[in-house]
């Protein structure tokens, strides 16, 4: 297809504003999917995605669309590139956007603009995309298309009359939207004769075919059977197949300027095909890559341990398998005195953590304990050595010079009556107000810089409860800052329990210590002797609780006599002990760890 007849676009929207429904409707109206094969949310492949209604992996579908041109009609190829919808995947979103010339900015006509709408809009603007503003769900009785058209027009600086109104559900207005995509978005530009350059915006592991790489060709042409080169690593692979998706893979004879499609090389690991990387050919390599490549970097770490120690090899195999499909997943073995053998696993963010954990439990049938998520700290010692801490229990002792923690730039959108509550919350989380704008009389956008550590804790839940669910949040990493942090240890009878060590701000150390000690006091059963629970910073004790002694004599219940009953009881007690972990001489039931580590 010549570039003039190609339009590459994506749909950007806040979660639940109806992106998948609209995408499905477009596939149906353009005849790519027959109504009877229409399976809800065609683009979302994985079960978990469907169940949670979120999109994790971006993909691209080509749709033919006949539109009016000056002297009659032409058939255009519309490439719809799906963007992941959550804050953890900002980098993947930005690469998907970079593969497009334009974006449909979709807003629920009953909700108005939300934080994710804005965050994605800013990303689209950074990528110089043409924006088509669209209100969705106009069939809803609660829709206020006039009010929100004005809000949207004010935001992007257009006339309220230029805001399109559609319903992904009934299909109303969707054909007009397809026409506008052709009319308003520029065709792709590139140099057809130049050495080939294509940007990878996604790669997915497929059990049968190995890694399927999604690319957008910028310059030149990629042809089947060529040897291709990944420009970040110089690794070369034979191109076994290339083609377009519509809606199933369709091999083609070549991909030219502006085209979007897939490549198959037979590699088995998505890390060989990195999002953001540039593909060129070995025969005639391009001089420089397309800009914007970044290595995926885990931001949040958590220890994952099998509840049943004998599941450790299964957990290891499961992580190896997941990694084939998830370039951002990083892990290494770890042992904990309290929890046994497990892994320290790095994630892009909290949602990523939840998804991985859920897949491990569901697809590999594992029962897991995960430790409290933590961020990465960079510590510079007084002697100048640098330490990178991904596990609080490994926080260095001794002469610490400076500690840096990651920060994020957060966008919060809420009705203006909650400004006070939000400011209070953000201040208590060490937030710095960067600016505030009214989107309309009663809705406000607040921009904060916050430590990521405070967000991974329970920020989102608190924000929701303080604003009765009306606030929305989005954030992006924004470097790091020096902070006054300390490591708090929890000791049981003088022994540090590694799983409970945490790095917290100095002002919050006491609160963390007392709450953890209090929780453990409730959760750990009484022992034959008194057990002190202490919270400490270094050698300084900051909180203390006691578990009082009890003489747990199971035999006293037997009133002497019946020997077989006695034996049974003793055996039962022994079995109970199996699920206990010993911290020094203290026996702690595994449930106590699980409960203490769950966040509430």
Q: Is 429 annotated as a binding residue?
A: no
Q: Which is nearer to ligand GTP, 44 or 405 (CB)?
A: 44
One symbol per residue from 159 to 198: x for binding ligand GTP (CB under 6 A), - otherwise; what is it?
--------xxx-----------------------------
In the complex, the smallest distance separating the C-beta of residue 55 from ligand GTP, rounded to whole angstroms, is: 5
Taking CB under 6 A as the binding criterion, the range among 12-20, 301-309, 427-435, 524-532 that sits at the site for ligand GTP is 12-20
Q: How far is CA 4 from CA 23, 69, 133, 289, 396, in A?
A: 23, 11, 23, 24, 59
Taking CB under 6 A as the binding criterion, the range among 13-21, 260-268, 496-504, 576-584 that sits at the site for ligand GTP is 13-21
Examine residue 117 and tell whether it contacts ligand GTP (CB under 6 A). no
Strands 130-136 and 164-165: parallel
Q: Which is nearer to ligand GTP, 167 or 527 (CB)?
A: 167
Of positions 30, 59, 111, 136, contacts ligand GTP by CB under 6 A? 136
Instruction: Report helix, strand and coil shares of the chain as percent, to nearest 5.
Output: 30, 35, 35
Q: Is 136 annotated as a binding residue?
A: yes
Question: Which DSSP letter does residue 255 get?
Answer: B
Q: Is the dihedral of CA 349, 93, 405, 444 positive or negative?
A: negative
Order of strands across the sheet with 278-281?
236-238, 227-230, 278-281, 197-206, 210-219, 260-264, 241-245, 249-251
Of positions 16, 394, 477, 480, contacts ligand GTP by CB under 6 A? 16
Taken as a whole, the chain contains a residue count of 600
Examine residue 27 and tell whether it contacts ligand GTP (CB under 6 A). no
In the complex, the smallest distance separating the C-beta of residue 86 from ligand GTP, rounded to whole angstroms, is: 8
Q: Is the dihedral of CA 471, 477, 478, 483 positive or negative?
A: positive
Q: Is 302 annotated as a binding residue?
A: no
One symbol per residue from 137 to 156: x for binding ligand GTP (CB under 6 A), - otherwise; what is it?
x-xx----------------
Q: Is 24 annotated as a binding residue?
A: no
Q: How far is CA 452 from CA 49, 294, 362, 512, 572, in A?
A: 25, 20, 28, 17, 46
Taking CB under 6 A as the binding criterion, the range among 49-57, 284-292, 415-423, 532-540 that sits at the site for ligand GTP is 49-57
Task: Determine the 3-state secondary structure of 252 from DSSP.
Answer: coil
Of positions 8, 21, 83, 501, contacts ligand GTP by CB under 6 A? 21
Q: Is 508 annotated as a binding residue?
A: no
Q: How far is CA 319 from CA 286, 323, 332, 351, in A?
A: 36, 6, 10, 17
Of positions 6, 26, 33, 54, contacts ligand GTP by CB under 6 A? 54
Examine residue 119 and tell whether it contacts ligand GTP (CB under 6 A). no
Q: How far is CA 157 from CA 131, 153, 161, 181, 185, in A?
A: 11, 5, 12, 18, 17
Q: Give the binding site for ligand GTP (CB under 6 A).
A: 13, 15-21, 53-55, 85, 136-137, 139-140, 167-169
| Residue positions forming the annotated binding site for GTP | 16-21, 136-139
């Amino acid at each position: 297809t010549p570039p003039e007849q190609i339009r590459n676009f994506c749909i950007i929207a806040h979660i639940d504003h109806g992106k998948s429904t609209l995408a499905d409707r477009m596939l149906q109206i353009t005849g790519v999917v027959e109504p009877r094969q229409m399976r809800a949310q065609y683009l979302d492949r994985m079960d978990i995605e469907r169940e949670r209604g979120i999109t994790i992996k971006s993909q691209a579908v080509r749709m033919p669309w006949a539109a009016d041109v000056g002297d009659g009609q032409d058939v255009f190829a519309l490439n719809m590139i799906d963007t992941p919808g959550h804050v953890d995947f900002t980098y993947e979103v930005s690469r998907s956007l970079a593969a497009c010339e334009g974006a449909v900015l979709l807003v629920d006509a009953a909700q108005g603009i939300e934080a994710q709408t804005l965050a994605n809009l800013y990303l689209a603007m950074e990528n110089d995309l043409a924006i088509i503003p669209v209100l969705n769900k106009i069939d809803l009785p609660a829709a206020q298309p006039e009010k929100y058209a004005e809000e949207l027009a004010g935001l992007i600086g257009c006339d309220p009359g230029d805001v399109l109104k559609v319903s992904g559900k009934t299909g109303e207005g969707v054909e007009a939207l397809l026409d506008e995509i052709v009319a308003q978005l520029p065709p792709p530009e590139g140099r057809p004769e130049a050495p080939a350059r294509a940007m990878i915006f996604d790669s997915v592991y497929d059990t049968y075919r190995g890694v399927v790489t999604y690319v957008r060709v910028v310059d030149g042409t990629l042809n089947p059977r060529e040897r291709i080169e990944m420009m970040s690593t110089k690794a070369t692979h034979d191109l076994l197949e290339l083609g377009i998706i519509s809606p199933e893979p369709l091999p083609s004879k070549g991909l030219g300027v502006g085209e979007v499609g897939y490549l198959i090389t037979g590699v088995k690991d998505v890390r060989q095909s990195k999002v953001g990387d540039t593909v060129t050919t070995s025969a005639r390599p391009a001089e420089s890559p397309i800009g914007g490549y970044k290595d995926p970097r885990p931001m949040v770490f958590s220890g994952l341990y099998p509840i049943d120690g004998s599941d450790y090899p299964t957990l290891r195999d499961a992580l190896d398998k997941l990694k084939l499909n998830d370039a951002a997943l990083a892990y290494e073995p770890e042992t904990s005195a309290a929890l046994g053998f497990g892994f320290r696993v790095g994630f892009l963010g909290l949602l990523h953590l939840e998804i991985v954990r859920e897949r491990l439990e569901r697809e590999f049938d594992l029962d897991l304990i995960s430790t409290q998520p933590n961020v990465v700290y960079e510590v510079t010692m007084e002697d100048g050595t640098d330490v990178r801490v991904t596990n609080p229990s490994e926080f260095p002792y001794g002469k610490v010079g400076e500690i840096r923690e990651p920060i994020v730039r957060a966008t919060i959108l809420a009705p203006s009556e909650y400004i006070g509550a939000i400011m209070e919350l953000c201040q208590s989380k060490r937030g710095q107000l960067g600016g505030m704008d009214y989107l309309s009389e009663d809705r406000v956008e607040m921009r904060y810089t916050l430590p990521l550590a405070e967000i991974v804790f329970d920020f989102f839940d608190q924000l929701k409860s303080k604003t009765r669910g009306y606030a929305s949040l989005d954030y992006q990493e924004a470097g790091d800052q020096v902070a006054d942090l300390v490591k708090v240890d929890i000791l049981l009878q003088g022994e540090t329990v590694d799983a409970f060590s945490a790095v917290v701000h100095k002002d919050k150390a006491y609160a963390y210590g007392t709450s953890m000690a209090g929780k453990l006091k409730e959760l750990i059963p009484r022992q034959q002797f008194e057990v002190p629970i202490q919270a400490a910073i270094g050698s300084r004790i900051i909180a203390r609780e006691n578990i009082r002694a009890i003489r747990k004599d199971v035999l006293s219940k037997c009133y002497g006599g019946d020997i077989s009953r006695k034996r049974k009881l003793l055996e039962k007690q022994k079995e109970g002990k199996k699920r206990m972990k010993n911290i020094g001489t203290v026996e702690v039931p595994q449930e106590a760890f699980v409960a203490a580590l769950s966040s509430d």
